[in-house]
Structure 1
Amino acid sequence: MSAVREDWVAARGRALSGDTGVPGDKSISHRAVMLAALADGVSRIDGFLEGEDTRATAAIFRAMGVRIDAPSESTRVVHGVGLDGLRAPASLLDCGNSGTAMRLLSGLLAGQPFDTVLGGDASLSRRPMLRVMAPLRAMGAAIDSDDGERPPLRIAGGHRLQGIRFDSPVASAQVKSAVLLAGLYAEGGTEVHEPHPTRDYTERMLSAFGWPVDYAPGMARLAGGHRLRARDIEVPGDFSSAAFLIVAATLVPGSSLVLRSVGVDPRRTGLLDALRAMGADIRERERRAGACGPLADLEVRYAPLHGIALPEALVADMIDEFPVFAIAAACAQGTTRVTGAAELRVKESDRIHAMATGLAALGADVRETPDGMVIEGGRLRAGRVDSLGDHRIAMAFAVAAQRVEGEVAIADVANVATSFPGFDALVRSLGFALERAPPISG
């Protein structure tokens, strides 16, 4: 992660127009490298996200003896070492800012014959890991941390794992994935049940790499004793990155935007359902199947929005899109209510508090609740917000600025590079008024 602080100054630009792609899906890029590294044979990954989080994952596998070539931008060729071919790293494995990497690697490393330590940056070191440590311990893993919950995580090798049935208390694809990946090394079957369905990328990709998996919304099951087979992967455009452009084009009058080859897995696209319920004009074109789920071109046009009571059933399918959804709600007519989103408090920042505070700084009428917020739509004004080093908060307020008279100063935006490298240049080409600024004092 970059140690240099960056700030933005954003203001209302022109109507958004263009025909563009977005960076590769971060969740799929992480998983593609992990499974290709453990597969038998050589895999090619096209569309790999050139973000700091995903590069950190690739560096971790290189540190464990996996050859990963980068013949061109957004391409990786991974020479798999097989399920039992990883080697002990010489030092701590640095996950940077990535909770996905740390939680999924916890599962994969729990079954290795060698010891490992997983660390990360200051933000990741505050995030709760007991939610993955507990089920992994139930499988026989030896995993601990200094305070019993937060990184760095120490994983002792050489422990035999046993498959379990795990009824997850939280709807988290990362927790589910950690348990399933540990299940690759476990004796017997491993089964995960969730309180609400979450994204199924791990299940889809395990199947694509040849590992038998049974899954349905809210449930996944696999057994140990199989092998992963190398294959080529086309990573679709990241829906979470596309979300900022979708909301911006919806909010800025006169906008018409086409986003190419975006992943539209139904466990990922709750934001589309939410925005359409608010009156958005978003159409899918050229929908097609991919190894990692369906893809489509998205056509987005400006449309006035109205507030809604967000159905809790959509929350798990739009958890990463909540910050920009909150911007849409603040610019809509009427009241939007969000409940059942307590998971947002343990992301890169407390996203409920960060969005409520930032929106209030721009004049919005917003009330924070323990598991969500109530937003009264209206006009936003110029002001200053702090992204708290959270990439999605920073990009969300860059979108908000497109509906503000005057300037919005957005502090601490360097972490945007973890998920959307080149965001500022791309959105300027589409119509945003957004510039880097000297660090904001105070």
Structure 2
Amino acid sequence: MTDTMLARFDPHDQQLRDDPYAVYATYRQADPVHWGQPFKPGDNGCWYLFRHDHVVAMLRDPRFRRKLVPADPLASGRVFGAPRGFAELSGRLLLSLDPPHHGRLRSIVAPTFTPSAIESYRMIAAKAADRLIDGLDEATAFDVIDNYAVPLSMTLIAAMLGLTADELHPDLPVWVSRFGDGFDLRKEPAAIARADDAAANMLWFFETAAASHDRLRPGLISALIAAREAGQLTHEELLALCVQLMFAAHGTTVAQIGNMIADLWTRPDQLALLRAHPELMAAAVNESLRFNGSVQSTAARKPIEDVTLGGAHIRAGQPVIAFVGAANRDPKVFEEPDRFDITRARGAAVMFGAGIHYCLGARLARLECQIAVGTLMRRLPRLKLTERTQLHRHTNIVLPALLHLKAVTAA
């Protein structure tokens, strides 16, 4: 296919939802650094990256920024009010910030994600997974997402925040999902309205939690309150960091657990191999992240100066979106990339980003997936996905997720 035959990439194209990896393959081969249709109304286009080397290069290049003019309230002396709505709140998440603002806030939350800190959550996750399965009766039909992955994730998040699971609002998972709708490239008004409502609800919850929190209790909320009182961050930044944890640690991890279970239980040979060789669990998690990741693209970034990438001239200020899902199926990096293989060498998959925005929670996400899937295999050896139930997939192309995954505990 030549460039003249290739239609401009359209983030609103239904085919991108129906078969994204086929769409990725077309553009990765024909025009991997592609000037396509805009995702944002009013723009005349956007650059889309589909090849592994181009995606990694952009993620590691400090010239690509989320904002062309950094806004750091502590460094600049500017006063920012409480964020209102999805656009303002998402703009204050770590994933949306540039240096030096990004580094200042990342250093405050980083101790929560050290290897030793993450390891301390292993027993909490294992006990929670066993307790959830204890609640299932023999031959019970259940939803792996709603009845297992979601409450497992919420138990861990409560521990990280320094709260009990009962202190978390029961609608937090719904708010996280609706907040994620705002990141979809289509920017549909109904989705933005849901995201706005979710942003307001999460801010209300964390405002209330922080105001009444016993700062002697260990956890992230106490650490953030101490940092605020030491002048290291503002109150609004405290709230945004809590939302960041909720969104990143819950939404994408629950989605990945669902993806991994679907990947394995619909491929009996791979599931049997993992049962026979449980030492492959870490590799199986990595392969699921590569093959069917819960994050498919980055948010838009813009170069602060003209940049040449893959032979394309990207002008300063032009938006660029990298499809990490396409990078992880690049045949130049992965042999038979469309095959799910838990024995695959780890390789260079772009699972959690790269550069300064590499995901702080990567180790936690891997641990949670290992425990969630491993416990299901151990406790429910006859678990089967319900054949008559379709795998319903959220239509968000940036953050795809299985809405429901029905299963039975015994055949």
Q: TM-score, normalised by structure 1?
A: 0.25
Say which structure is richer in helix: 2
TM (normalized to structure 2)? 0.26
Q: Whose RCO is larger (CA < 8 A, sep 6+)?
A: 2
